Amino acid sequence: MISPSRLTLYELHYNLGHVLYQQGDLMAAAQSYRQAIALQPDYAIAHHNLAIVLDEQGHRTAAVFHYRQAIALSPRYVKAYNNLGCALVKLGQLDEAIQVYRQAIDLQPNGASLHNNLGQALHSNGEIIAAVSAYRCAIEFQPDMALAHYNLGKSLQAIGHHADAITCFQQAIQLDAEYAIAHGDCGISWMAQGQIDRAMYCFQKAIVRQSQFVQAYCQWTAQLQGDDELTQARIASGQFLCSVQLQSNHPNTYRYLAQTYFHLANTLTAYGGNGQYRQAEAYYQRALQLQPNTPTFYLNLGECLAKQGRFNAAILIFHLGLVACPHPQLYVHLGRTLEKQQQLEAAIVYYQKALSSRDGGMRRWGG
């Protein structure tokens, strides 16, 4: 805010806008900033602050316009570049956001937040390796930025570097012990490492820090009814959270989490699309980590792979399922997949094995 001595009329409107914004009156603040701009069109900071108000109101295209105006009037206005990048990310214009963040970094190379925000835009754009580099720069310039450590962990997790991701999450937690989401993601990476008990410990830590929300969520899911996959996922997740909140090591805790992943995967598979299939695949694999002797998990994972045209991978999963938990339906699906691959003789063998297993006393064909 501008010092009150010798204020011009446009500066008075600007100061009024600043005070109204602090009080949460966004509509009136926007009007005051507009009046300041009308009186002084080259008033860069008024354009910038009007953009902030518009952004918070959800008028992001208009916000982008005024951020750009502020930059045009003041080309070294780093804060305007940063906020413009954030608005562009919200609009899904990731390539433009990345360019804007890089322009800001050229002006302020040691800006840790700029590197962190660039990393987030790169990660969202699928440029994970570049995001890792950006987060490392942020940490170099501000080692105590918990968010940068967490974001680095998320990018490393995304490329399967779970041991390094755990180190990052633990560093974020060391800097901010109440960082609930870091505890949760640390648990996910421990689970990927096969350390289920450590994962559960992290989940407990995450839940303790959000106990009121978790309790309300559990109460909500306990009242849900319905057989659709998403509802079943919600019910299972509520049961899992309740069990973890009680710090229970009961086998049902693992079962509830496995069922959560399984039903979420089914939801994504039913929705379809390459991204959904890939995420579903990851969820089926997590379910299998928790309950490796469940035929349905192998069946649905194999079918998910087949829907992606990855028939060899599907065949492998069905074979792994037969080793872990022999079941007639695994023979059926294996035979069907081989048939699609025109491996007819092999398909016949597995169809016959399915019939033999059923006739040999298998009582159920369901998952």
**∠296-247-208 over CA atoms, to 5°?**
110
- Which one, of 27, 34, 41, lies nearest residue 13 by Cα? 34
The percent of residues in the chain predicted with pLDDT above 90, rounded, is 80
Average pLDDT of span 275-289: 93
Rounded Cα distance, 92 and 185, in Å: 25
- Judge contact between 132 and 161, C-beta under 8 A: no
Q: Please give the mean pLDDT across all residues of the chain.
A: 92
Average pLDDT of span 323-352: 92
Check residue 76 and report its DSSP letter.
T
- Which one, of 313, 297, 295, lies nearest residue 305 by Cα? 313
Rounded Cα distance, 198 and 182, in Å: 14
DSSP assignment of 108-169: -TT-HHHHHHHHHHHHHTT-HHHHHHHHHHHHHH-TT-HHHHHHHHHHHHHTT-HHHHHHHH
3 pLDDT higher than 60? no
pLDDT digit string, tens, across residues 210-246: 888 888 999 999 999 999 999 999 999 999 998 888 7
pLDDT band at residue 366 using 50, 70 and 90 as cut-offs: very low
- Judge contact between 351 and 335, C-beta under 8 A: yes
> Domains of the chain by range and CATH?
1-108 (1.25.40.10), 210-291 (no CATH), 295-367 (1.25.40.10)
179 pLDDT higher than 80? yes
Check residue 24 and report its DSSP letter.
T
pLDDT at 258: 95
Rounded Cα distance, 261 and 193, in Å: 17
Average pLDDT of span 255-271: 95
Average pLDDT of span 72-99: 97
Question: What is the residue type of 157?
Answer: Q
Rg (CA), the chain: 27
The CA-to-CA distance between both ends of the chain, in Å, stands at: 66
248 pLDDT higher than 70? no
Rounded Cα distance, 157 and 192, in Å: 9
